[in-house]
Homo-oligomer: A and B are copies of this chain.
């Protein structure tokens, strides 16, 4: 089996100033691509520790991905450390010098002297392209181990891994088969409730379930052999049925899924937010194409007096009735097909409502656990978006939420509103 390691560098990663999301991202991608990491490590910017770790990894690994330390400043030492570990020197990569010059020329700026450092690569290494930044990567062999050096900026790192390094690894280190992973995104339930329901599913050899929890979602992941499509689809259907009440999307994020529904249904949507400060509007604008169906949005302040005319219907709007009224008024005022409202939070209780041509649905919920202010906003936004999803999908509007208690729910058909 291939031994693959990742080395993250930089004082800010080592000392915990930033969480190493590049490492988590790479681990997951490699795992799903069949190149499971066997080890990860992190060292700071000190040259001697870097060289020591590179040499140590070279003896114990077949492939090492090194991340960070390719910037223009004096604390970026990865290329120099690589040269020392490979017992060679740094030479100028003329191709990258040209690219740097072009990069700055296109911006009408003189190239800062410090950037020249980024074109100095260990002798014998191969440049790895970075179309979106000034730090090129490189590939170099140390003690028979293949090292790929990559920039720390997440967008540059991810692009280089996906479009340069993974294809190169597939060419030079072919693997028989990887794993496939299907993901069911759930909202409003708990990991133990999910696993209690799914524990009874008998999985064939080579298949297993994983869970990943991050507010406000829990992902259920089905791992299994690559290419085994028919069996995978059947298993997914079984799993889906058991937890359908809380599944918000399959193999795409909830935001992507809702965007697809918006494009399919072609209904315009306005919003009025009393507790989510623009978060719901931003959520609905996630996809550029679907955003065309977003009508106007209002972020309502509870602190500044609202104008007399519209004030009465908005004031003290923490009650369900007020959310209802606001949803109807917003829909009418914006002339959209739908409108969604998030009401004030008061005493850990909030209301959300959606108005449509069929009528209005609204519910009042209480937080069942302590959330931070940001997480509260996220949960309210997701409940509101989930009502939109349920409306589009024709699903029951009021599921059981494990960490939210429903105080009230109401549906008023359009005929009753007009009458």
Q: Which residues of A contact B (CB under 8 A)?
A: 11-12, 14-21, 23-31, 36-46, 49, 52-53, 56, 60, 71-75, 107-109, 112-115, 132, 134, 153-155, 190-193, 195-196, 199, 208-215, 221, 223, 268, 270-271, 273, 277-282, 284-285, 288, 291-301, 303-307, 333-336, 368-370, 372-373, 375, 377, 402-403, 405
Contacts and interface: CB of A to CB of B under 8 A. Distances in A.
Contacts of A281: 277-278, 299
B28 A38 contact: no
A210 B49 contact: no
A294 B301 contact: yes
23 contacts: A14-B36, A14-B38, A15-B28, A15-B36, A16-B26, A17-B212, A19-B19, A19-B20, A19-B24, A20-B24, A40-B41, A40-B42, A40-B43, A72-B191, A153-B214, A278-B280, A282-B282, A288-B373, A296-B298, A296-B300, A299-B299, A304-B336, A305-B335
Nearest to A60: B52
A25 B16 contact: yes
Nearest to A209: B75
Contacts of A41: 39-42
A96 to B, nearest CB: 15
A196 B112 contact: yes
Q: Which 3 A-B pairs have the closest CB atoms?
A: A278-B278, A16-B27, A297-B299
A405 to B, nearest CB: 8
A195 B293 contact: no
A281 B301 CA distance: 10
A43 B39 contact: yes
Nearest to A333: B307
A20 B28 CA distance: 13
B297 A75 contact: no
A277 B291 contact: yes
A192 B73 contact: yes
A45 B212 CA distance: 13
Contact of A191 (B73, B154, B215, B375): B73
A278 B278 CA distance: 4
B210 A17 contact: yes
Contacts of A132: 369-370
Given A112-B193, A298-B297, A214 B18 contact: yes
A15 B37 contact: yes
A147 to B, nearest CB: 17
Contacts of A38: 14, 43-44, 46, 49
Contacts of A273: 278
A277 to B, nearest CB: 4
Nearest to A280: B278
